[in-house]
Each structure stands twice: as C-alpha cells, then as structure tokens.
Amino acid sequence: MKIARTKRELSEAIKGLRANGKRIALVPTMGALHKGHISLIDIARKHADSIVASIFVNPLQFGKNEDFNIYPRQEKEDLEKLNGANTDIAYLPGVDEIYPEGFVTSVIVGKNTDILCGRFRPGHFDGVATVVAKLLIQALPDVAIFGEKDYQQIHIIKRLVTDLDIPVKVIGAPIIREKDGLAMSSRNAYLTPEQRKTAVEIYKMLEDFRSRLKDKETIQALIKWGTEYLLGKGFTEIDYIEVRDSETLELIEKIGNKPARILAAARLGKIRLIDNIEV
Ligand code: AMP
C-alpha cells in the first residue's frame, strides 16, 4: 500500500495505476476505521481494480460547537486496517493540503441540504460537498463508494457530481451494524457502557416503526410514538424521525408504492446518533 500525504503524491501514485490500465475506486473516510468502512473497500473492489481510501477529518463539515477537536484520530491502526483490506493507496492529506492559505471557494448543493441533518447542522453539507468535490477532482476515480449510514449525504453527492459533470459513478453501500443492531460509527467510541446500551434503541425503534407501518398505523402517529419511545429509553433529544422518498428525499405522509426510508437522529447528551432503514 502506498501512502500519499500530498496532492502531488496522490496524483503520482494514481498515474502509476492508470498507466497499468487500472479502474480506480475512491473510498473517502474520516478515519477511526471500523467494519463499516472496510465493507466499502470490499464493495469498491467489485467495481474497480485498485482502491484509494482517504482519511481526512474535514474541519469544514463540523459546526463551531461540534466535535472536530476530539474526533477520534488513530492513524497507525487505520493504516493497518487499510493495508489488511488490500487498499492500494492511502491518502492522508493534512488540513493545509486541502485548504491552503487563501482558500475561499465552497460547493453548495441547492436542495435537500437544509432538511434532516442539515436543519440541525447548518453548513454541514456545504463542508461535505466541498471536500468531496475536491477529493473527486484530486483522485479522478471511476467510482466512489459511500455508506447508506449517511443517507442524505449520498443523495447530495449524487446531485453534486451530476451538476458539476464530475465523471464518477457514486455507489451506495448498505449499513454495517453491531450484533445487536447499532449502526457502526466512529462516534460510538464516545459512548459510555450505559449509553451504548441505550444507543441500540434507535435501531429497535426504526424496526418497530417499519413493522407498525405495515400494520397500517399512520406515519404521524408513529413519529409521535418513536419520539416518546426514545425519550423514554434515555435519549435526551430527538432531532428528527421522518419518512422520506428514498430517491428524492421528499417527505412522505402516506406509504405508497415508491421506496421510502425512515430516518432518525437523536442525542444522548452531547453524542448525536443517526440511523435509517428502508421501508
Ligand atoms: P465517516 O468516516 O464517518 O465520514 O464515514 C466514511 C464513509 O463510511 C461514509 O461513506 C459513511 O457513510 C460510511 N460508513 C460509516 N459508517 C458506516 C456503516 N456502519 N456502514 C456502512 N458505511 C458506513
């Protein structure tokens, strides 16, 4: 595995792969890698010959009072995991490499960035869109893999590559969960053992929500139920529980025959957890 820390090193390493006719996949991450991240690399391999995984904790996508400074950073372990997953290039740029002195441009996707997580994290998706656009332009991969754990993010990135004519295929990958159902996340490391037990309730709520929808309970009643359920289990704040069209992210009031997604975000003290399931 080659390690690139600068744009130039990345581009040299990619040139080498391209010279050998390789199809390239990019897997962007913020590190603190877990099995969810590794699953993206495994999926990437089905679509490409060579894999570039990036690790960059992007300051632009964190709000002022969010966890940028304490976000887990564990480069040595991450590099071992990437190597173990047969990654070809690990790209670990520093903040100055991505946002050098004088950087003032941002990419703003004009729809669906102020709903769901965007409502509670203003500017978050501008930061995501900007860094993803830069990483795609730097690596120019054939495909890029993103997890459905961040469902809204995939939607926004698909819009971004279409609108900016970035020639890459964006592929979504299923959510990898712990044995009890909690969606894997680097942020789960913040949970105390007691919070960890409560955390899984968000997934249990989503599953119950889905089965009660099938029993014809209304979405409105289930949102009320889900909110009370999570608060009763120890969540301190519910940012949202919503049902949206899987493709367009339009709000759905009644399940029809189009695919829908139940999405939720809730807080355990300072820790914010998100999850979603398909209906
Ligand atoms: P992050 O490091 O949290 O920015 O995530 C990097 C990529 O991994 C994103 O595309 C995430 O959606 C994806 N990802 C994170 N957690 C999971 C998971 N549990 N299952 C599948 N993909 C995930």
Residue 1 pLDDT = 98
Which strands make up the sheet holding 260-268, listed edge to edge? 237-245, 260-268, 271-278
pLDDT of 185-237, one tens digit each? 999 999 999 999 999 999 999 999 999 999 999 999 999 999 999 999 999 99
What contacts 260, CB < 8 A, 6 or more positions away? 243, 244, 245, 246, 252, 278, 279
Ligand 1: atom nearest CA of 187 is 3
Name the average pLDDT for the chain.
Answer: 97
pLDDT of 231-250, one tens digit each? 999 999 999 999 999 999 99
| Beta strands 50-55; 169-173: pairing state | unpaired
Residue 32 pLDDT = 98
Q: State whether the beta carbon of 183 lies less than 6 angstroms from ligand 1.
A: yes
Closest residue CA from atom 19 of ligand 1:
184
Cα→Cα distances 62→216, 232, 240, 255, Å: 39, 29, 19, 34
Confidence band for 13, pLDDT divided at 50, 70 and 90: very high
Ligand 1 center to residue 96 CA distance, Å?
24
Confidence band for 184, pLDDT divided at 50, 70 and 90: very high
Residue 67 pLDDT = 95
Q: State whether the beta carbon of 149 lies less than 6 angstroms from ligand 1.
A: yes
State what percent of residues in the chain have pLDDT above 70: 100
Residue 228 pLDDT = 98
